[in-house]
Structure 1
Amino acid sequence: MRRTRVLSYALNPPLEAEDGDRVATNLDLVLRLLDDAEKYDPNFVCFPEFILQLRYRRDGLSRDEVAQPIPGAATDAVAEKAAELGSYVFLPMIQRDGDDLRNAATFIGPTGEIVGIAHKFAPTIGEMNDGTKPGEDVKVWKTEFGRVGACICWDGRYPELGVRFAEKGANLVFHPTTAKSYQHFETWAKYYGYHVVACDKTEARTLTPTGTRLGEITGHMGTPSVNLGDDASAGVSFAIVNTDCGSYGRYQNRETVNAIRERYGGDIAFHELPEVGNIVVESLTDDCSIEDLEAEFEMETMLDYEERTRKRVFEESEQSPLLPPRE
């Protein structure tokens, strides 16, 4: 079992900045919220897409003019707060990467180190017209709470990325965005057995492999929030999840389920999802992880079973309309 405390701030910055410096203004808001985060004792904190440079009205600055390096003064300041908090933090920002721009989410560790950087795989055409380059490598980082990855905004439109995270063994995927769509992530979570944390500037939620939405906030009346002054506010989404789980085919594992029940009893929970034909298996003990169960009972994830089927299809027919098997 891996109890994981996830905190998202749906930060909506002010439309105007008195000093005209939106990076400095937004960084100050992020740092103030990281002070607020102490009361939640989080393991992870997430903010919306490019929160460091989220646009003000009529300031006239381009992406190129507000881009920041990684590492840099902003990431250094957030890293210091992350270390004080003892939490992982995703800081989304427009990154200056040599001569290029990137839509990035900087992944900062609980001791203040930069663990890695996730780049948006599918920038909008407008972003690319402004010089933003697409990300090329789906990364997951190993933490004490499982393997963690991130995709950004428009990336969610591409279901193959959900598969890529599953191939990498992700347990928790963060999705900073400025949009509000999330239903596709419910499918990713159910199909592939990982949690998805979606956070934009007014809404946030954690989507579980069992189809539950936790800590959901929508920016309407009753949303728990932090009033930051000057028309800036942040909705607060907090959830505790167990990232030690996986998604498996019900039919393929029908005998395995009973064998696990006989061996481990109440230490393992089963959640049937008839709408997708899966069963989510969840470890409730520190003595046996899902990886232990997979090794002991030769359990096959739904992703692996689908891939095995795909390979057999292509052995039988070279004209299949399915995507070809991965190499």
Structure 2
Amino acid sequence: MFPTDYEMREGIKPGTTTPVFNTPFGRIGMAICFDLNFSEVIEGLAAQDVELVFFLSAYEGGRQLQRWALDYGVYVVSAHRGGVGIIVDKTGHVLQKGDGNYHPVVIRDLNMDRYIFHLDNNHRQFPAMIAKYGSAIHIDVCRPEAFFALESRSTEVSVADLIREFGLETFKEYMQRSRRLRKAALGE
């Protein structure tokens, strides 16, 4: 969407949309190089419930990739022309990083049945979920950020099933509800 100034001088046209594609393993989107500097790109992808963003670039991206993953609860997989690939999970943690010399290609299985939740209201359900599902689920609490990732490790139960059964509210839903409550309290 956002070519550099010199690319536009050379005739490259900016994009106007952030397409998301349904695949057998989830909803994917893409960003290219300079796009990483513009929140409009990740916001456009996130508004379409993207789960995995592929980032192709002439520069590595660094912590900006982690910020996108953390702020929007998406996996980010990058490929850099210098051979430094990186895979970032939905909590912003780097799962795998290559280097240009010995490991230019990074490969990692990703559990797409992994959602992000705020601890508020949801944490009270931990004992019941663990008692019922045990090792079929995994709860990754992120402190001091006060959120957690919940993933299913079984074909018998999905995170969507857990949301329904235990009345969980995703991080995104909680933030949307908080904004509505704030507006109502302000009389907007």
Closer/same/farther in 2, CA of residues 238 and 139 from structure 1, 3 Å limit: same
How many Å separate the matches in 2 of 1:313 and 1:134? 36
Closer/same/farther in 2, CA of residues 133 and 308 from structure 1, 3 Å limit: farther
Closer/same/farther in 2, CA of residues 305 and 164 from structure 1, 3 Å limit: farther
Q: Secondary structure at the match of 1:308?
A: helix
268-277 vs 258-267, greater mean Cα deviation: 258-267
Deviations 1:157-193 (A, max 9, x none): 1234334333322221110111122312213323433
Closer/same/farther in 2, CA of residues 256 and 281 from structure 1, 3 Å limit: same
The reply to whether residue 282 of structure 1 matches residue 132 of structure 2 is: no
Q: Secondary structure at the match of 1:174?
A: strand
Give the structure-1-normalised TM-score.
Answer: 0.52
Task: Point out the structure with max Rg over C-alpha.
Answer: 1
Which residue does the alignment assign to 1:123?
Answer: 3
Closer/same/farther in 2, CA of residues 259 and 158 from structure 1, 3 Å limit: farther
Closer/same/farther in 2, CA of residues 181 and 291 from structure 1, 3 Å limit: same
Cα RMSD after superposing both structures: 2.2
Paired positions, count = 187
Closer/same/farther in 2, CA of residues 307 and 294 from structure 1, 3 Å limit: same
The reply to whether residue 215 of structure 1 matches residue 122 of structure 2 is: no
1:47-196 correspondence to structure 2 within 5 Å: 121-196=1-76
- Structure with the larger RCO, 1 or 2 (CA within 8 Å, 6+ apart): 1
Give the structure-2-normalised TM-score.
Answer: 0.86
Alpha-carbon shift at residue 145 of structure 1 (Å)? 1.1
Which of the two has greater strand per residue? 1
Q: Secondary structure at the match of 2:11?
A: coil
How many Å separate the matches in 2 of 1:147 and 1:172? 6
How many Å separate the matches in 2 of 1:250 and 1:219? 39
Closer/same/farther in 2, CA of residues 168 and 295 from structure 1, 3 Å limit: farther
How many Å separate the matches in 2 of 1:160 and 1:250? 28
Closer/same/farther in 2, CA of residues 137 and 190 from structure 1, 3 Å limit: same
Assess if the C-alpha contact under 8 Å between 1:197 and 1:207 holds in 2. yes
Deviations 1:221-269 (A, max 9, x none): xx23xxxxxxxxxx22222221210110012311233332222111110
Q: Secondary structure at the match of 2:135?
A: helix
How many Å separate the matches in 2 of 1:273 and 1:311? 26
Amino acid at match of 1:208: D
Closer/same/farther in 2, CA of residues 124 and 253 from structure 1, 3 Å limit: same
Amino acid at match of 1:138: T
Q: Secondary structure at the match of 1:134?
A: coil
Which residue does the alignment assign to 2:164?
Answer: 295
The reply to whether residue 261 of structure 1 matches residue 141 of structure 2 is: no
Assess if the C-alpha contact under 8 Å between 1:147 and 1:171 holds in 2. yes
How many Å separate the matches in 1 of 2:116 and 2:100? 31
